[in-house]
Amino acid sequence: MTDLAAPAGRPRGRFAGSRHGLLALGGVLVGGVVLAALFANWIAPYSPYELNVAAMLQGPSAAHWLGTDELGRDVLSRTIFAARISVEVALVAVGVGLLGGTVIGIVAAYFGGMLDMLLMRLMELLFSFPAILLAVILMASLGTSILNAMIAIGIIFIPGFSRLARAATQAVLRQQYVDAARTIGMSDARILGREILPNVVTPLLVEAAVAFAYAVLLESALSFLGLGAQPPEPSWGNMLNTGRGFMAQAPWLGIVPGMAMFLCVLGFNLLGDGLRDFFDPHLRD
């Protein structure tokens, strides 16, 4: 028999190394984005807003490594500063989703019954909407601003986190120490906070890494549509949207911001996959 029926276990030899390599690659990409976001003021060679009419649509050169845009602004500097918006939006959005989803999931699992059914039905429904459609509608309704983008994207994440928190809570509830806590007369709030929450944190944090990638993608999509970050504030999405109008003369305007988005999303995906493998190898296949 060939190894077709080989059980799916830990990766073997060389490819186990490759998996660790991918996790490391994810870490490097994410680290790069976070450093760019934190230290944009020091790293970026120019101000992201500095106009230079004499240097419009110039190709990559020693002075402007990634060229200039239609207003002569340095594309590298704008790309670095845009990382800041992406990371900020993703951080707050994932925070909103994580908080809302965890509360809903734990409450649903802990109290069960009708409340559980109603909450989970609602989550299931929200989950079935295409994310970008829901994001676009919420933005239209809330108004276009970075803060609203954070809220809209955060709302989209609530169902995913709530399902995970509910499943994790249910698993914890079956443990004896929860029964013990009940027997000694601990209040519901204390059991939830002291016994359950610490035990459901790990799967939620792994999911958060993947949600981060998706948040970056959604923020870029909203900004691309003109519903997120507003020019002249640099965001990868709005840079790409403006840039594609000048692509025939300046192809880098269509390539650079997209590449930044791609590397950032790839980084968070690899990191999420790697963390998932690390914490729960059974989930991999």
> Does 147 interact with other proteins (rule: CB under 8 A)?
no
The Cα 161–Cα 95 span in angstroms is 11
Q: Tell me which of 42, 53, 62, 130 binds other proteins, using CB under 8 A.
A: 130
| Residues across the chain | 285
Q: Does 254 bind other proteins (CB under 8 A)?
A: yes
- Closest by CA to 218, choosing from 274, 129, 147, 156, is 156
Backbone angles phi, psi at 108, to 5 degrees: -60, -45
Measure the CA–CA gap between 244 and 254, rounded to whole angstroms. Answer: 5
Least separation, in Å, of the C-beta of 283 and other proteins? 10
Q: Does 265 bind other proteins (CB under 8 A)?
A: yes
For 3, the 3-state DSSP assignment is helix
**CA separation (Å) from 75 to 8, 13, 50, 264?**
46, 43, 11, 17
User: Which member of 114, 143, 176, 282 binds other proteins (CB under 8 A)?
Assistant: 143
Stretch that binds other proteins, among 59-67, 128-136, 159-167, 180-188 (CB under 8 A): 128-136
Residue 247 binds other proteins, judged by CB under 8 A: yes
State yes or no: residue 181 binds other proteins (CB under 8 A): no
Neighbours of 283 (CB within 10 A): 11
Q: Does 92 bind other proteins (CB under 8 A)?
A: no
- Give contact residues for other proteins (rule: CB under 8 A): 1, 3-8, 11-12, 15, 18, 22, 121-122, 125-126, 128-134, 136-143, 213, 217, 220-221, 224-225, 227, 240, 244, 247-248, 251, 254-255, 258, 261-262, 265-266, 269-270, 273, 285
